[in-house]
Structure 1
Amino acid sequence: MNNTFNMNRFGLLLKRQWLEFGKIYLISLVVLLGIVVGFYSYNIPSPFKESNFDYNGNLDMRFRYPLFLILGFVFISIVASSYFNILAHKSRAILELMTPASVFEKFLAGVIYTALISLFSYLLIFYLTDLTFVKYLNGHLNAFNHQDIRKVESITYEVFTDEGYRKYCGYFFAFPFLITSIFLLGSIYFNRFHYIKTALSVMIFIGLTVYMVVKFSMWIMKDKVPYHHIGQNHEKDWVLLLLLLITSVVTIIVWTITYLRLKEKEV
């Protein structure tokens, strides 16, 4: 089939992919919800706990931030790593490759399911769970017997009302898409143990990159006197902006490689 895009055919492809991919995806959402609820139930402040407050005297809800980041990485990477793994099985791969849709349509469907739907689903589940527990805590503040206890805010409210949070979230906007693009490529590039091999490849690549950057910095600074000055905010903004551009460009490059790899499978 020629590499064209037809909206009706693409819509049918999305429905077909949902029949194949949706069952596993819905199960993963149920598991995700159970994990988030379990972590919240165990870690939220309780009148029966000795330590309920942070260093500012507020109810300690700091566990939400590492939970959000770590669990989010694991969830979207697993979803992306399982999308094209059907191509590793010859009998099932033939049926998949014979699907009457262009390579671009199949690739675009993969991006939508792994980069958009998975990310939106994770944010929605985390938001609803967090909001539920926050409302529960705010309805039982009197049980803590603390005179100056403050109302707990949802993590979404804290992010969108704080200028610093909004700015940093904007600079790191491309990171979820970079993660899903890498593991989506791994799902079609490796024939077995897609997630493990992709994760190991990423770790090795990051390790080599850090090593080369450190060695290059040591070579540049050799026999030179370091000069320290007070960093300006605009300098930090330029670094973060550069990070956003790099992650965006790398994401597009990885998606391009994934498309070419899928095209090779079709051949």
Structure 2
Amino acid sequence: MKNHFNAQRFGQLFRKHSAEYLNQYLLSTGVLIGVMMLIMGFIAYISGPPLNARMQDIFFMLFLFGAGFIFTSTIFSNLGNKNQAIAALSLPASHFEKYLVGWVYSFIIFLIVFTASFYLVTALVVSLDEWYGQEKEILNVFSPDQQGLKTYIIYAFIHAVAIWGAIFFTKIQFIKTAFLFFLGLGIMAVLNFQILKTLFTQDLKMAMPFADVFLQADKEMYSLELPQQQQQLIILVPIILAFFFWTTAYVRIKEKQI
């Protein structure tokens, strides 16, 4: 269609998608809450120290990245079924509108629902945990230190890769996308380590991409880090990569409709 976006047409398409998949999404939300409650509750029960904000932050990242990747990689699963794909691609809506519905659900709505669900589970676990007279802590993902913002930015990159795989592959999208994702991370980590190893004369112990470099010299461990201003610029890398994968995913869905 020549008109890429029409608000009324997009609204109708969004309502249609919601009516068809709302029960499935609600059930998935219930499963997510149950899994988080089970894991966080079990860790809080068997561990001595209470589930403090630092541990909550770790759980927040792991659950967000894992659940987000799984959900996003299945958001366009109907394109992998021939009959469903024909019905979906023949809807009277533009390429961009169909792509935008999946993007809004898997990115914006998912982030809102996940954050609310995580806080619900965290509040319940913290209230039931034994703090031994300490002040109870609940993670603030919107704190001024912007750590929560960085987590959301990293998720944007993970989401972009997952939605690209959901559109690019027609079968077992999650497995194929996850395999390529971790393979790419592994290759990048090895190349990064080997390149830095040739640059430093000292014994290089650890060097992850976009992170501090750890060296050993005269039996002493040293860490090298970028200046604060350059560290802030590094956060642009996942943002740029996210827009790249989002764009290529949109181009791919256009090809499926030609």
TM-score, normalising length: structure 1 = 0.80
Report deviation, 1:97: 0.3
| Alignment pair present for 1:186 and 2:184 | no
Aligned equivalent of 2:250:
259
Task: Give the conservation status (yes or no) of the 8 Å contact 1:80–1:114.
Answer: yes
Read off the aligned partner of 2:106 and give its amino acid letter. T
Name the % identity: 26
Distance 1:221 1:150 in 2: 46
SS at match of 2:227: helix
Q: Call closer, same or farther: CA 1:230–1:208 in 2, change over 3 Å.
A: closer
Q: What does residue 13 of structure 1 align with?
A: 13
Matches of 1:117 and 1:167, distance apart in 2: 21
The correspondence of residues 87-166 of structure 1 with structure 2, limited to 5 A, is: 87-137=79-129, 149-156=133-140, 159-160=141-142, 163=144, 166=145
Task: Compute the displacement of 1:218 (Å).
Answer: 2.7
The answer to whether 1:248 aligns with 2:239 is yes
Amino acid at match of 1:115: F
Q: CA RMSD in A?
A: 2.8
Is the Cα contact below 8 Å between 2:9 and 2:93 reproduced in 1? yes
Q: Is the Cα–Cα contact under 8 Å of residues 189 and 261 in structure 1 kept in the other structure?
A: yes
Q: Aligned to 2:77, which of 85, 93, 104?
A: 85
Provide, for residues 201-231 of structure 1, a one-character-per-residue CA deviation record: whole Å limited to 9, x for no partner.
01111111122222222333469xx999986
The answer (yes or no) to whether the contact 1:3–1:103 under 8 Å persists in 2 is: no
Return the alpha-carbon distance in structure 1 between the equivalents of residues 223 and 123 of structure 2.
Answer: 40
Q: Supply the distance in 2 between the matched residues of 1:118 and 1:245 (Cα, whole angstroms).
A: 23
Length-normalised TM-score, structure 2 = 0.83
Alpha-carbon distance in structure 2 between the residues aligned to 1:230 and 1:216:
17
Asked if 1 retains the 8 angstrom alpha-carbon contact of 2:142 and 2:149, the reply is: no
* Alignment partners' CA distance in 1, 2:229 and 2:12: 44
| Greater shift in the superposed pair: 209-218 or 5-14 | 209-218
Structure 1 unmatched ranges of 5 or more: 54-58
Cα displacement string for residues 142-181 of structure 1 (whole angstroms, at most 9, x for unaligned residues)? xx8x5xx12212123xx555x5xx2333344311111111
Residue 134 of structure 2 aligns to a residue in which SS? coil
Report the number of matched residues. Answer: 242
Task: Sort the Cα spacing of 1:219 and 1:44 in 2 relative to 1 into closer, same or farther, 3 A.
Answer: closer
Q: Which has the higher contact order (CA 8 A, sep 6+)?
A: 1
Structure 2 unpaired stretches of 5+: 203-214
* CA contact 1:3–1:104 (8 Å) conserved in 2: no
Q: Which residue in 2 is equivalent to 1:235? A: 227
Distance 2:158 2:21 in 1: 19
Give the deviation of 1:21 after TM superposition: 2.9
* Preserved contact between residue 21 and residue 83 of structure 1 (Cα < 8 Å): no
SS in 2 for 1:259: helix
Greater strand fraction, Structure 1 or Structure 2: 2
Tell me whether 1:52 sits opposite 2:87 in the alignment: no
